Structures are given as structure tokens and as C-alpha cells.
Amino acid sequence: MYNPNNKQFVFKDSEGKLWNFYYDTNQGICYSIFSKRFAWSEPRVVQSEAYEQFYVEIDEKDCFHIIYQDKKGNIIYCFMQQNETVKALPVLTSKSHSVFNKHLSLIVANSSVHIFFIIEHNGIYMLSYQTITAGVPVAPKKVDNITLLPNPYTVVYDLNDDIYVFYHISDGKNNQIGYKKYSMVNKIWSEYSQITMFSSNSQNPRVVVDRNGIFHICYVRKQDKQFQLVYQQKIPDRNMWTSESILAGSGTPISNFSILSVKSSLVIYYLKDDALYSFISNDFGASFTKSSKSTSLSRQHICVRYKSNSPYEHVQADEIPASFVNGFKLMFTHDSMDLESGLNTDEMRAIITTELKILKRQVADLKEAQNIIFNNIKSLESNQQNMELSLMKEISKILIGIKPVKSDVEPIHANRSTYPEAPQNNLKHTTNPYTQSFSNLPKSREELKRLFADRVKKKVRLLKNFKGVWKLQRKKNK
């Protein structure tokens, strides 16, 4: 049954494999994988001691990032690579051990994990955030005080990886919607920028950023006893919002609604009495076409957050109705699940822009890895030089302790008329000083032993050559 409070998370990785993360009352946070046989695998438990509200994100490397709170109110972050064990990291300890919906969320941007949550202190609710870089969390910081509503805030990031958090605060009389921007370059939050300025409550913002960097927001406001579904958009790189467009009105509160981007289309829908009403724009939000009739949701439809790492599939949906009957089906995206064909120029440009962005990040990762390898090589070269110097010192010590081999051959003098007979044995091998020297070396220096053995052989050859010259000289003088 469609229930945003029991949202499931479905991701398609870069190889086309589907992953489904959900909460089971008996097993905790679990996940299943859609197999090639068009069936979901048996559930695998991620965390059994988790509270029911949690959040999952997939990064560009197909790694999963999970944030949840345990049954004591502590916030835990998990990192999960495919086919590897889950690594858990506590990021915030609850002093009061209070468990309530902290509206957890996270974004992976610029090689860091940015966690968002709401905490309560003396009756004041604060939107807070915490970053984790290279597995190391920093202390949490406050973004702003916030009005706690069913959907108190939403977080997105633009094409530059700058983070935007949209939320509502009171102007003293009514709730108004605005946002703050976190700059990845300067590592600071901007001042609060207010979007709505109505003389009535505006609440529950839902935001999506399309492939062209356009911000699309929808929210609900109350005007003259009527609840209105309102849409606006923000132009990229400019703090300017278009005037509001009222898509629907109702005498009863509009609670279940969302906005999603599918290819080059924009879809906004809301639910009322199990009936779904949708509005579709094919011109980037300039105009909307209302569906001719409502769609009835069955008990098989559930609320899903969907994201795909496929470069040819462009679906951004924080909430969307989906069915797991006979596989997996998303509403509004029947064509988007297949490879895109017949793309126009704008769509091709958007795909290329996305691919270049991914390539830029991969190049940055390669440069970082190259620097690490270069530093490791320099360290190895330095260690090698130190080892060579140490070895040369050892060789010098050994050479100093070796006595030269004594020969029985007397030197030849040019002014002598006669020469003594050649000795019978030029070398005495009974006690070899080289062998004695090597016997003192440890066995681990076998290479050093071979080095000095070669030197002994070379000296023997020299002595033999000397003997041959001596015989020839003797023959000549006879």
C-alpha cells in the first residue's frame, strides 16, 4: 500500500542490476536483488537493530550509503560495497536515548557524505548536518531552526555539486519556504533566501533539479479555506524564481504529492482518496497538461524512491508509486526503463553533459591515485638508497677484515740472469681467508657470499695467468 512513511528505496546500478532496500519489522533493514530470472532474491539483513525510518543513497561507483538510528536514538552510518560486508560507523550519540522520526537524509557529493537530520532541544527543532570524509565524521553543525511538519525539508544538489536545503520557518505569523546553499568550494552555508511571501502558510516543499540545472519546486499553501498545489522554478545560476502556478485546489488538505523528472518531462502528482491526479510538462515547466482522468492505486502500489546510474535512463524521483508484481514497474516511466532512442538535440546535449561530469570526476580520482602512487615510489626509492648505503658499509667492513692471499711465486726482476725453478704449488688451499670471512656472515646474506666467491675465482685465474707468463719467459731465456 502506498505510504510515504514506509518508503522503499530502489536503485539501478551501472550494470543494470536492481537493488531494493526496505524495512522489515522482524529483521530490520534488508535488501533484495532482482535476478536475471526476473525474480527478487531472498532478503539479506543489513542492520537488525534499526529504527524504521532510514535513508539510502547510491553513488557513482555503485556503492551504497545508509543512514539510520538504532533503538536508543543513536545515528549510525553504513557503507556497503557490492559483495562485501557492511561497515557501520556511529556518527551521533543520543544523550536522551529518545527515538523519534529525525527525518534522516544524505547526499554523496565531492567525495564526501553529507548527512542531514532533525534534533530537538528544549522544544526547539534544529535542522543539522554532518559530513564524513574518508570514513572520518566531523562534529555535527546546525543549519537552522525549523518548523517540524510531516515533510519539514528536502535536500538536492546542482550540477556543480553545491547542496541546497529547502525548508520552512515562521515569519512570525505564517510558515514560509526558503533555502540555504552550501558551497563545496568555500565549505560554508549561505544566508537564508526566502521564496514564498504569502499571507498564509506554505509548507512541505518538494524539489527536483533536471538535467539542465533548473530547480523545480512544488508545495502546498492554504488560501481562503482552500489548499492549493503550487509550482515554481528557479533559473540556473540566478537567485530568481518564476511566479507561482496553481495546479490544483482542494477543500481538504493535500498531503501525498511529489515531483519527478523523467527524461525531458516533468511530472507532478498528488493522491486523494486512493486516486492519483497527475500534471505533465514537456517544456521544462513552462506549461502543464492535466491528466484526463485520475488513476486508481491498488494495494500493490507502494511508495518508492528511485535512482538509476544508467547513463541512458534519466529518472529523478524522491517519491513515486511503484509495483513489485511480476518484476518491478514504476508509474509515469514506462518508456524510460528501456534504452533511449530517437533523442533530440537537447536530450543528446544533456546526456553528453552528464557523461562529461562523470568523466571529470573519474579523472580527478585518477589524478589523486597517481599522486599517491608517485609519493609511494619516492618513498620506496628513498628506502632503497638507504638500504644500498647500509649494504656498502657492511661490505666495506668485511673487506677490511680480509687478509690477502700469500703466493710462493717470487717476483720477476728484469736484471736477474737466472730464475729459480717454479714452485710446485702456487696456492695453498689449506686455509682460505675468504672462506673464513664468509663463515662469519649470517646465512641470510647468501648473495653476499656468492659475490666474494666470484672474487676468489677471479684471483685464482689471475695467478694461473701469471704462472703461464712465467713459464714462457723461462723457455725464452734457455
Burial class (CB in 10 A: 0-12, 13-18, 19+), 303: buried
Identity of residue 275? A
Residue 431 has pLDDT above 80, yes or no: no
- Interior CA angle at 358 toward 353 and 360, to 5°? 90
DSSP label at 241? B
Q: What ranges do the domains of the chain cover? A: 4-334, 345-400, 404-477
**Is-contact 182 130, C-beta < 8 A?**
no
The CATH number given to 4-334 is 2.130.10.10
d(CA 395, CA 408): 29
User: From the CB of residue 389, how many other CB atoms can be counted at a distance below 10 Å?
Assistant: 10
d(CA 261, CA 315): 6
Closest-CA residue to 231 (of 271, 259, 272): 259
- DSSP secondary structure letters along 327-354: S-EETT-TTTTSPP-S--HHHHHHHHHH
pLDDT of residue 71: 87
The torsion angles phi and psi of 459, rounded to 5 degrees, stand at: -70, -35
- DSSP secondary structure letters along 289-331: EE-SS-EE--TTEEEEEEEE--TT--EEEEEEEEE-TTS-EET
- Interior CA angle at 217 toward 167 and 318, to 5°? 80
d(CA 227, CA 250): 5
Which whole number is the average pLDDT over 274-288?
90
Which whole number is the average pLDDT over 281-291?
89
Which whole number is the average pLDDT over 18-42?
90
Which whole number is the average pLDDT over 426-435?
46
Decide the pairing of beta strands 136-137 and 124-133. antiparallel
Least-confidence region, from 140-144, 320-324, 431-435: 431-435
Q: If you search the block for the grid coordinates 535536500, which residue do you land on? A: 155
Q: What is the pLDDT of residues 68-111, one digit of tens each?
A: 999 889 999 999 998 788 999 999 888 877 788 899 999 998 88
> Mean pLDDT over all residues of the chain?
81
d(CA 240, CA 244): 12
The torsion angles phi and psi of 329, rounded to 5 degrees, stand at: -135, 130
Which whole number is the average pLDDT over 313-341?
74
Decide the pairing of beta strands 8-12 and 301-308. parallel
Bridge partner residues of 257 (DSSP): 270
